[in-house]
Structure 1
Amino acid sequence: MRNDPNAVMLFAAGFGTRMRSLTADRPKPLVTVGGRALIDHTLDLVRSSEIATVVANLHYLPEKLLAHLEGSGVQTLVETPDILETGGGLRNALPLLGDGPVFTANTDAIWRGPNPFSVLKDAWDPDQMDALLICVPRDRVLGHKGQGDFVIGPDGRLSRGPGHVYGGIQIIKTNGLHDFDEPAFSLNLLWNKMAENKRLFGLPYDGEWCDVGSPEGIPLAETLLEPRHV
């Protein structure tokens, strides 16, 4: 089993209900920000990090994403008849992703700053970590109303609580996925087990991040795409 991640799972199966009418005829990863589909912004980061294997799970209006991703090198899995959630979806994709640790990424955020995939890879320590999550300090977050998901301890270990928002990108070992009997389940359940074993870690992000989960997030995200004037 390899210890360094070289595959990424893009979560692209959700219904995007918070996007309201914008997802009536398209899946959320195809909502445009700055004239480009959300999933393409994420793919730019993936390609800059030279990750060899890219897999996306699809469920809602999958034919639209299949057409968009044709020729991109992204391997796709359509979850049918039911959506498998993040844990079940990742487990379903393991035959394509391989048996080592992998990146996972949500496809509904815009980043300005260091490439989150690269900074995670540089900080990854498989001897200590079962997962390493990129976490954004609350004052660097746009478009997200919550007070945060995690507290990062002095040693980098995570506990639940306000302070840092999970940015939707991580490195995670996948062997624990087989401990769950349900076909559909959240990765939160696996994180809880890792936290109990003191092997869930977080990395604070030194940049800005925008959650594009609702229409209100689109203009905020587009401000991050504007050139900076020094």
Structure 2
Amino acid sequence: MPDAVMLFAAGRGTRMAPLTDHMPKPLVRVAGRPLLDHALDLVAAANLPRCVVNTHYRAAQIAAHLSTRPEIRISPEPEERLETGGGLRAALPLLGPGPVFTLNSDAVWSDPGALSQLRAAWDPARMDALLLLIPTERAHGHAGAGDFTCAHDGRLTRGGPLTYTGAQIIAPDGLAEIPDRVFSLNTLWDRMAMQGRLCGLVYLGHWADVGTPEGIAIAETMLATHR
């Protein structure tokens, strides 16, 4: 079973301006705490021994915030942001072998059991990635259509009523076959989907996307109502 998690925290957070003019988005506060700490709550609840956080924009601030947490490793991307695929590949030496969790740091959850829910459903015999999804009515602050349709056997196809929450388990082996330095994990997902090994699971709680300043109040209301 996967025992390491990659937290994506390298983004510029342009939609969160002006709050991100002088701080990285993972340090923007929701309900009195940085978004990064909300993500780390999920890691702690799943009791994962290895945690890696990638950094790029305002990296020193994130490093300072984590300075009292020596068990958390930092994967710096000083020259350019590598996106999710390139960032995960660069962090693999710190994460170790085998499948890993990945988690975005720009959302909050109504309960901390999201990663544990993923782990309980992970089946490496029939899947190379297991994405945690949520229906529109429980995706607070999220604009636009859904991302996926989930078949009865869990296999995913693009487009549909389910939104990707930013949490997954993924086997990173296929990253070595992608020649680009900077790329999204969507590239790897598409290859997995063609082989019928991209799967999904519906999150049981409520979830809030915190991509804009307006999303902060929406997320705080969600936490007050559904936590």
The answer to whether the superposition gives a TM-score over 0.5 is yes
| Counterpart among 31, 44, 55 of residue 58 in structure 1 | 55
What stretches of structure 2 of length at least 5 have no aligned partner?
none
Measured in 2, the distance between the counterparts of 1:120 and 1:205 equals 9
The answer to whether the aligner puts 1:34 opposite 2:46 as a matched pair is: no
| Counterpart among 42, 66, 70 of residue 69 in structure 1 | 66
Measure how far apart 1:50 and its partner are. Answer: 0.3
The answer to whether the aligner puts 1:6 opposite 2:3 as a matched pair is: yes
Q: Cα 1:228–1:187, aligned 2, differ >3 Å: closer, same or farther?
A: closer
Aligned to 2:83: 85
Aligned to 1:139: 137
Aligned to 1:110: 108
Measured in 1, the distance between the counterparts of 2:14 and 2:112 equals 30
Measured in 2, the distance between the counterparts of 1:227 and 1:200 equals 33
The answer to whether the aligner puts 1:23 opposite 2:20 as a matched pair is: yes
Measured in 2, the distance between the counterparts of 1:18 and 1:196 equals 33
Measured in 2, the distance between the counterparts of 1:82 and 1:66 equals 17
Q: Percent identity?
A: 53
Aligned to 1:177: 175
Q: Which 4+ stretches in 1 moved above 2 angstroms?
A: none
Measured in 2, the distance between the counterparts of 1:42 and 1:197 equals 31
Measure how far apart 1:48 and its partner are. Answer: 1.1
The answer to whether the aligner puts 1:101 opposite 2:99 as a matched pair is: yes
Measured in 2, the distance between the counterparts of 1:115 and 1:220 equals 21
Measure how far apart 1:228 and its partner are. Answer: 5.6
The answer to whether the aligner puts 1:213 opposite 2:211 as a matched pair is: yes
Measured in 2, the distance between the counterparts of 1:39 and 1:23 equals 14
* TM-score (norm. length: structure 1): 0.96
* TM-score (norm. length: structure 2): 0.97
Measure how far apart 1:227 and its partner are. Answer: 6.0
Q: Retained in 2: the 8 A contact 1:133–1:203? A: yes
| Counterpart among 201, 221, 225 of residue 223 in structure 2 | 225
Q: Retained in 2: the 8 A contact 1:113–1:206? A: no
| Counterpart among 29, 40, 45 of residue 42 in structure 2 | 45
Where 2:44 maps in the other structure, the secondary structure is helix
Number of matched pairs: 226
* RMSD, aligned α-carbons: 1.2
Aligned to 2:165: 167
Measured in 2, the distance between the counterparts of 1:213 and 1:65 equals 18
Where 1:226 maps in the other structure, the secondary structure is helix
What stretches of structure 1 of length at least 5 have no aligned partner?
none
Where 2:154 maps in the other structure, the secondary structure is coil
Measure how far apart 1:226 and its partner are. Answer: 1.7
Superposed CA deviations along residues 75-102 of structure 1, whole A, max 9, x for unmatched, are 0011021110000000000001011000
